[in-house]
Amino acid sequence: MLAPKVMSHIKPAHIECQKEDIAPIVIMPGDPLRAKYIAEKFLENARLVNRVRNMYAYTGEYKGVRITVMAHGMGMPSVSIYAFELFHFFGVEKIIRIGTCGALQQEIDIPDLIIANESYTEANFAYSYNGDPTHLAYPNKELTNHIINTAKEKNLKYHVGSVMCTEQFGFYSDNEHVLKRVPEEIRLLGEEMETFALFHIANSFEKEAAAILTVVDSKYKEAFLTPEQRETSLDAMITLALDSIL
């Protein structure tokens, strides 16, 4: 699997800073305000290094480790742009997505954590990206296992398994017909909109990627986290990602 070639004169179109402004390790929430929240609450000496399209990136230190926290927006097209630029132009070695998802199994509660060990999509993202017809993408195994072990040490409630990466927000569509088409051997724990693209792009560069997701709604429950709660109440996931890079 190879990353698409980029003409040598092309510069990053969506991240405007120097290469040295971005750390080799990047934590990526979807929401720019969540990136700001993480930088202000958890990082030392954090500084804003990108604000193009208000997609904030901050670089600072967490317990002595230099990291960047950068938002990636919503959906595979958005995360693919930022992941590609980070890997290709800025030499990033590792990206951990920290996001939200909806539960697809009755035993999963709000706000449990899901650590993705594979991502399934019906979309043709991989085929468009580099001619790969696959509909499954995998995170880096070593990084994912390290996250799992860290979650055990922190005594967090988490699940490990498959997630579905969709092209639409599940609650705003009739996604039952989509779920019925999922291969029987894939037991989906949750649905979200970004992991497949992140994993596929990371693998094309032979770089590391993983995903930790907080369950904020469920097809089996009426409860859900509000936009305000989604922005500020995800500290368990945030600290798990940060401690997993140490």
**Residue of 21, 31, 217, 235 with catalytic role:** 217
Domain assignment present for 55: yes
- Quick one: tokens of 239? 């600290």
Cβ-count burial 17-50 (b if 16+ within 10 Å, e if not): beeebbbbbbbbbbbbebbbbbbeebbeebeebb
pLDDT of residue 223: 75
pLDDT by 10s per residue, the chain, length 246: 799 988 889 999 999 999 999 999 999 999 999 999 999 999 999 999 999 999 999 999 999 999 999 999 999 999 999 999 999 999 999 999 999 999 999 999 999 999 999 999 999 999 999 999 999 999 999 999 999 999 999 999 999 999 999 999 887 888 888 889 999 999 999 999 999 999 999 999 999 999 999 999 898 888 777 777 666 569 999 999 999 999
HEC readout, 28-50: ECCCHHHHHHHHHHHCEEEEEEE
Q: Beta partners for 70?
A: 57
The amino acid sitting at 131 is G
Strands 65-70, 57-62: pairing is antiparallel
pLDDT of residue 232: 58
Question: For the chain, how many structural domains are there in total?
Answer: 1
Could you check whether the bond before residue 77 is cis, i.e. omega within 30 degrees of 0? no
Transcribe the chain into DSSP letters: --PPP--TT---SS--S-GGGS-SEEEE-S-HHHHHHHHHHH-EEEEEEE-GGG--EEEEEETTEEEEEE---SSHHHHHHHHHHHHHHH---EEEEEEEEEE-STTPPTT-EEEEEEEE-SS-HHHHHHS---SEE---HHHHHHHHHHHHHTT--EEEEEEEE-SS-GGGTTTHHHHHTS-TT--EEEEESSHHHHHHHHHHTT-EEEEEEEEEEETTBS----HHHHHHS-HHHHHHHHHTT-
Domain assignment present for 179: yes
Domain assignment present for 9: no
Domain assignment present for 211: yes
- Domain of residue 227: give its range: 20-243
Domain assignment present for 13: no
Report pTM. Answer: 0.96
Sequence-distant (6+) residues with CB within 8 A of 193 are 74, 75, 76, 165, 166, 167, 169
CB atoms inside a 10 Å sphere around CB 84: 21
Of the candidates 202, 210, 73, the one whose C-alpha atom is nearest the C-alpha of residue 129 is 202
User: Does 217 participate in catalysis according to the annotation?
Assistant: yes
Strands 158-165, 25-28: pairing is unpaired
Domain assignment present for 7: no
pLDDT of residue 176: 86
CB atoms inside a 10 Å sphere around CB 205: 18
Domain assignment present for 51: yes
Domain assignment present for 188: yes
pLDDT of residue 137: 98
Question: CATH number for the domain including 127?
Answer: 3.40.50.1580
